Amino acid sequence: MMRIIIVRHAETVENRDRVFHGHSYGGFTAEGKEQVRMLRRRLDKYRFDKALVSDLARTRETAKYLLSGRTHIIRYLKLLREKDAGEFKGKKFGEVVWDKLAGDFETRKPPGGESISDVQQRIREFLAILTSENARDLLVVGHGAFIKLLIGQLRGQSAQDAIFSNQIDHCSITEILLSDGRFDVITQNDTLHLKR
């Protein structure tokens, strides 16, 4: 049996300003820095054997802080990246009209970016990697939409339900158990450590 602890990176300037940042990164907010500090204290009880982390700067920085002194257990994966915003990068959420794009909820994509279907394919590849990992406690550091869609796949939700009904806050904890090839979501979006 493997316990998988999935956390979302700390809040960034782009998150706060409601800007599509895809693969760009303008730094953590003061709130984000406090979130990751509180998350680290909460995760101290775990003895992670391995960590799989998105290779984008905001997740790398989160993971390095959480695993200070143990960064040798980190493996960076492009598969874990946030949905690529393409030409929408840098635009505020309210400036984009998704319905003008060709396709449906799962297949439409910004010019030069990814669709939800593209992300779902990456998630399937990532789940195959997880089933081959040999660890007792494994840390995953990822992104909001990716984690929502991952939980959705494990629960059999449609992509639309996964995006709009699964709450994933910054520096929240989602725990999944993998046993005999079966994934079970134990807790989702646990933010008790962030309450002040």
The 10s digit of each residue's pLDDT in 63-122 is: 999 999 899 999 999 999 999 988 988 888 888 887 888 899 999 999 999 999 999 999
pLDDT by residue (tens digit) across 67-82? 998 999 999 999 999 9
What is the pLDDT, as a whole number, of residue 5?
A: 98
What is the pLDDT, as a whole number, of residue 92?
A: 87
Asked if pLDDT for residue 185 goes beyond 90, the answer is yes
What is the pLDDT, as a whole number, of residue 23?
A: 72
What is the pLDDT, as a whole number, of residue 97?
A: 82
Report which of 107, 106, 114 is spatially closest to residue 89, judged by C-alpha positions: 114
pLDDT by residue (tens digit) across 130-165? 999 999 999 999 999 999 999 999 999 999 999 999
CATH number of 2-194: 3.40.50.1240
Name the maximum alpha-carbon separation found in the chain.
48
Concatenated DSSP letters of 164-186: HH----TT-EEEEEEETTEEEEE
Between CA 71 and CA 171 the distance in angstroms is 18
pLDDT by residue (tens digit) across 3-47? 999 999 999 999 999 998 767 777 999 999 999 999 999 999 899
Specify the pTM: 0.94
Average pLDDT, the chain: 94
Asked if pLDDT for residue 196 goes beyond 70, the answer is no
